[in-house]
Amino acid sequence: MDRTVGRLWFHFSAVYLITAYICSLLYYEYDYISSKRIDYFCSSKPLFHQFTILVRAIPASAGRNISDSVENFFTEYHPSTYLAHTVVHRTSKLRGLINDAKTHYRRLVRLQSNPSQINSNRGSCFGLFRRKVDLVDRYGKRLGDIEQHLRLEQSQVSSAGKEVPAAFVSFKSRYGAAIAMHMQQSNNPIHWVTEQAPEPHDVYWPFFSSTFMQRWISKLGVAVACFLLTALFFIPVLIVQGLTNLNQLQIWFPFLKSILTITFISQILTGYLPSLILQLFLKMVPPVMECLSSIQGYISLSDIKKSACFKVLWFTIWNVFFATVFSGTALLQLSLVFEPKTIPTRLAVAVPAQASFFIAYVVTSGWTSSLSELINLFALISSLVTKPFSGNSDEELEVPSIPYHQDIPRILFFVLLGITYFFLAPLIVPFLLVYFGLEYIVYRNQFINVYAPKYETGGKFWPIAHSCIVFSLVLMHAIAVGIFTLKGLPLASSLLVPLPILTLLFNDYCRKRFLPNFSAYSAETLIKKDRADENDPTMAEFLDKLVTAYADPALMPVSFTATADSLRRPLMSTAED
C-alpha cells in the first residue's frame, strides 16, 4: 500500500513538473513568434493592405452616392493622410458570367488540342438524321455572346445603383491607416465601421453582396448549423464506441456471436475498425466547417480558414474526445448532465477506460494521415475520378495551398491526447512521438516542394494553438484531481487545486503581453517603418498602384474572343498557305 501511495505522489510531482515545463515552452514560443511577426513586418516591402482599411456601414446622404460620401468624409477628417478609395459593388452575377466565359474558353482550347473532335455528328431521333457541326465555331459564338453580355453587365454594375455601403480606403502612410482603423469615426458607433483590409488577392468578394441583416442572419444560421452538426455527429460516435465493446456488439448483433469469438476478428473489430470509421466521418468535417465560415461574413479567405480551423478544433475536442470518453463507458446512461463538482471524478473514471482506443486512434489516424499527406492520396484519387469528367489539362491544375483548417486541429488534438494521457497511460507517448516525427519530416517537404501559400498569416494561428494547449493542461488537472480523489489521496487533490488557477492566470498574462501584437502593430513599429520608406524612391510608384489595388476583379476588362479567334487557325501552316 505504501508503495502504491509513493507511486501516486510521483504522478503528482509529474503533473506539476510537466505543467511548469509546458507553460515555459508556451511563453518562449509566444515571445518568439511575436518577435518574428514584428521582424517580418519591419523587413517586408510596402504592401497594399498595410496602407488600407475597410469601411462598412457607410451612411447614405441625400443627393450623394457612396463614393462621394467617402470622399467628403475622409477629406474632411483625415486630410493629411487620406489618399484614395474604392467603393465595393454587387458583382455576384458578373462572377457567374466570367466563370461561364472561362468554361467555354477552356472547351475551345481542348478542341484545338484534339482536332478530331472539331467536327462532330449531331442529330435527333436516335441519330437517324445527322449533320456536321463545327464545335469551335459553335463555342466561339457562345463565348462572344457571353463576353458581350459581360461588358453590358459591367457597365450597369459600375453605376451608382449597384454600390454596396462599403469601401476600401487607402492612406499615404501605415500610421495614418492605423489611426483611422482604431478610432471611432462617427458619433454613431454602427456607422463608418472600420477594420484592417486583407491583401487584395485575399479578399473574399462574395461577402460584400450581403447586407447587414443578411450577415446577421447568416451568423445565427451558422451557429445553429454547428450545434446541429455537433449533435448529429454523436450518432457515429456511439456506433464506433459500440464496436469497441465486444459484449455490447454481441447484444446488438447476436447472429455474429460465433464469429466474434475468433480472437483475430474480435481484435480487428474492437481495435482498429472503430478508429478507421471515425476517421472517415471526420474527413467530412473540415470542408463543411469551411463552407459554414464562408457564409458567416468574413472579408478574406484567410479569416475564413482561421474561423474554420477554430470550429474544426473544438468540434474534434468535444465530439471525438469527450463524446468518445463518455459514450464508451458506463456513463452512457442518461445521467450525462451532472453537477460541476463531480466532473473530475467522472473524468477520472471515463478517460483511462478509453486509453486503448486513443492509442489505436493515433496509429490509424495520425500515422496514416502523415503518410497519405506525403503522397497526397485523397487528392490523387479525387483527380483520377474527376479529371475524365472535367477535362482539365495539366496546365490548368492549381498548386495546392496549405490546408490550415484541416491540419492544425488534428495536430493540436494529438497534443491534447499527449498531455491528458501522459500520466494515465504513458504507453501512448511513444506513438505520439513517432507521429510528431513523421509530421515534421512530411510537412517540411510539403512546405518546401508542394504547397504554395495564397496569403501570409503572419503567425495569426498561434493564439489558437496556445489556447488549446492551455485548455489541455486544465483538463489534465481536472482528471488528476479526480484520480487522486478516487485513490484516496485527498491531500494530493487539494494541493492540485491551485494548479489550474495558476495556469489560467498564466494564460491571461500571455494574452495581455503578446496577443495585442497579433491584432495590430504598435505606433513605434509603424512610424519607424514609415520613416524608413520616406527615402525609398519607389514609394511614389507604389502609391500610384495603391489607388487601383482594390478594384474588384469582376469589373476589370475581360477579353476571351481575341484569344479564341486564334483557335480557329490550324496548328501548322500548309505549303499552299
Angle CA 414–420–425, to nearest 5:
95
pLDDT for position 150: 79
Name the grid cell of 535: 527615402
pLDDT for position 388: 59
pLDDT for position 271: 54
pLDDT for position 83: 92
pLDDT for position 128: 46
Statement: the pTM of the whole predicted model exceeds 0.85 = no
pLDDT for position 25: 95
Map residue 110 onto helix, strand or coil: helix
353 vs 349: CA distance, rounded Å: 7
pLDDT for position 189: 84
pLDDT for position 569: 46
pLDDT for position 425: 82
* Residue 498: burial class (beta carbons within 10 Å; 0-12, 13-18, 19+): exposed
Angle between helices 404-421 and 301-316 (to 10 degrees): 30
Element (H, E) at 547: none
Average pLDDT of adjacent 10-residue blocks, the chain of 577 residues: 64 88 95 92 90 88 82 92 89 78 75 60 47 62 77 73 84 93 87 89 76 76 87 73 55 56 55 66 85 85 90 88 68 47 70 79 80 71 62 58 87 92 86 91 86 83 94 91 81 87 95 90 91 87 91 76 50 39
User: Cα-flanking dihedrals φ and ψ of residue 569, to 5°?
Assistant: -80, 145
pLDDT for position 331: 42
- State how far Cα 267 lies from the chain centre: 36
